[in-house]
Structure 1
Amino acid sequence: MSCNAVSRRGRGRSAAAISAFLLAFFISAPAFAICQVIADGAFGPARVYKAAVETGSVRIRYIGHSTFEIETPGGIRIATDYNDQIRPALPPTVATMNGAHSTHYSLMPDPDIQHLLPGWNPDGTPVDYDLTVGDVRIRNIQTNIRGWDGGSRRLGNSIFVFEVGDLCIAHLGHLHHQLTEEDLLRLGQIDVVFAAVDNSTTLRLESLMKVLNDIRPAMVIPMHFHFPGALQAFAARAASDGYEISMDTDSEHVVSRTNLPAQRTVHIMLPRS
C-alpha cells in the first residue's frame, strides 16, 4: 500500500473520529491595512463584568448564532450581528449588523449603544466605516448577498474587521461568495476569523474552505451552525485540510498574539445561549 493511501485512510479515520466526538459533545452538553497598533488614549468608565482584559489580549464571548461579544483591554465591548433575539447581557459600546435576515440585525437596538453600525444601505449604495473607538479600530468590506427571490442584493453584507493592538479579527457576516483579490488586499493580515459554517444559506463547504485558505488566519471560530450536522461536517472538512480542531467547553476565550496557535486551528466555542 502506498504512503498516500495510508495518509488518506488516516485522514478519513481522523475526520470520522472528529465527527463522532462533536456529535457526542453537543448531545451531552445541554482592509487594505494590516493590523495597526492604536495609540493609548483616555478611556471612559468601562462596564466590565469580569476581570479586565490584559493589555495585548482580547476576550471573545460567543453569545449565539452569529453574535459574538469582543472585549478590549480599554473596556470597549463590541457585539457582532446584533439582533433582537440573541444579545449580550449588557448593551455593548459598539454593535455591528448585517442585512441577511432578522437574526443579524435589530429593529429595536438598545439606546445605550454608542455606535450602531449597519453593514448595508437599504438603497444598495456603499457603506464605508473606518472609526476608532477607544483602543479598537473598526472597518468594513462590503460584499453582495442573495435575496429571498434568488437574485443578488448588491452590497447587502459587510465583513467587519476589528483591530486591537497587534491583533486583527474579522467577522465574515452572512458571506455568500468567494472573495476577490481586492477584498483580500483590503482585509490585510487577519489573525482570527468568525466564519458561518452552515453549508447551506451562506457558503457551501468547498467555497468556504477556499475563502479561509485565501485569508489564512491562525484561528477560525465557527458560527451559524444551526443546521443539524453542519458543525461536524465543517470540522471534518477542516481537519482533512490540515487544520487542528480545538474544542472549548466554555462560551468565552481570551486571545493574544502570544497564544495564537502555530498551526492553523479551528477553535469551536460553546454558545452561551
Structure 2
Amino acid sequence: MEIKWFGHSCFQIKTKEGTIVTDPYSAEVGWSLPRLTADVLTISHDHFDHNAKGLVDAQRVFESPGEYEASGMAITGVLGSHDEVGGAKRGKITMFKFLAEGTTVLHLGDLGSQLSDVQLDEIGSVDIVLVPVGGNYTLDAKGAVEVVNTLEPKVVIPMHYKLPGLNIDIKGVDEFIGEIGLTPERAEKLLLSRSSLPEEGMRLIILSKSG
C-alpha cells in the first residue's frame, strides 16, 4: 500500500485492489491540485476545499454514509459532525473507512467532535487513521489526540493543517506533534504492508505535500 498526501484532506491511496482518492480541493484554497485518477473517490462533505470532483477521473464516487464494495475493496461511510454541536454550525460529514490488502484506513474528513459509542461501533478496529488537526473548522490538536487515543490505530497521519500557500485559517501541525508525544517520522509517501504494521505502540507519520 502506498499513501501520498496532496495537502489538506486529499490523499491518494494505492493498493493491490485499486486506487482511492479522498477530498480533492479546488484552487480557491491557494494550491492547484494535479489531475488524479482513481477507482474510488470519496467526498466527506460538500465544501469547496473537499469536493472538487471534476479534478479526479474516478470510476466510483461515494459521498454519504453506507456500506459499499468497489474494485475488491470494502468501504464504510459513517456519519459525523463538522462541529461539536451535532452539525448545527457547519453541518454533517461522512468519515470513510477502507479495507484493502487486509489493512484498514480511516479518513476522518472534517471531524469536529469526539466520536460517540455508536460511531465507534460502526467504525470498528482501525490500522491507519488520517486525522484533521488544524482546529478552527475541525478538531484542534488536543481533540485530535483524544480521538486518536480512542481509536488506538497502529499508524496516525495528520491532515487539514496550515502549510505555506494555503489560504484557510487553521493552525500548523507542530501543536499536534507536541500533544501526541510521539517521535514523528517524516516521509514523501508511506509504503507499508500488513506485516510491516507495528505490533505494539503507534507510529506518527508526517507526510510531505505532493503535487
Structure 2 match to 1:99:
45
Q: Are 1:170 and 2:170 counterparts?
A: no
User: Within 2, Cα distance between the matches of 1:224 and 1:187?
Assistant: 21
Other structure's SS at 2:138 match: coil
Residue identity in the other structure for 2:62: L
- Offset from partner CA, 1:122-147 (integer Å, 9 cap, x none): xxxxx333222123111110112249
- Offset from partner CA, 1:45-74 (integer Å, 9 cap, x none): xxxxxxxxxxxxx11111221100011113
Structure 2 match to 1:116:
61
Which of 184, 200, 205 pairs up with 1:245? 184
Is contact 2:35–2:55 with CA below 8 Å preserved after alignment? no
TM-score with structure 2 length normalisation? 0.84
Q: Are 1:59 and 2:2 counterparts?
A: yes
User: Within 2, Cα distance between the matches of 1:269 and 1:247?
Assistant: 6
Q: Are 1:134 and 2:71 counterparts?
A: yes
User: How has the CA–CA distance of structure 1 residues 201 and 128 changed in structure 2, closer, same or farther, with 3 Å as cutoff?
Assistant: closer
Is contact 1:169–1:192 with CA below 8 Å preserved after alignment? yes
Gaps (5+ residues) in structure 2?
163-168
Structure 2 match to 1:203:
139
Deviation at 1:151, TM superposition (A): 3.4
Is contact 2:44–2:94 with CA below 8 Å preserved after alignment? yes
Structure 1 match to 2:25:
83
Identity percentage of aligned residues: 25
* Structure that is richer in helix per residue: 1
User: Within 2, Cα distance between the matches of 1:165 and 1:108?
Assistant: 28
Structure 2 match to 1:265:
203
Q: Are 1:72 and 2:48 counterparts?
A: no
User: How has the CA–CA distance of structure 1 residues 88 and 218 changed in structure 2, closer, same or farther, with 3 Å as cutoff?
Assistant: farther
User: Within 1, Cα distance between the matches of 2:53 and 2:10?
Assistant: 16
Q: Are 1:232 and 2:171 counterparts?
A: no
Gaps (5+ residues) in structure 1?
1-57, 119-126
Q: Give 1 or 2 for the bigger CA radius of gyration.
A: 1
- Offset from partner CA, 1:234-262 (integer Å, 9 cap, x none): 111111xxx332122x1x21121221133
User: Within 1, Cα distance between the matches of 2:122 and 2:69?
Assistant: 17
Structure 2 match to 1:4:
none
User: How has the CA–CA distance of structure 1 residues 146 and 178 changed in structure 2, closer, same or farther, with 3 Å as cutoff?
Assistant: closer
User: Within 2, Cα distance between the matches of 1:201 and 1:153?
Assistant: 8
* Structure that is richer in strand per residue: 2
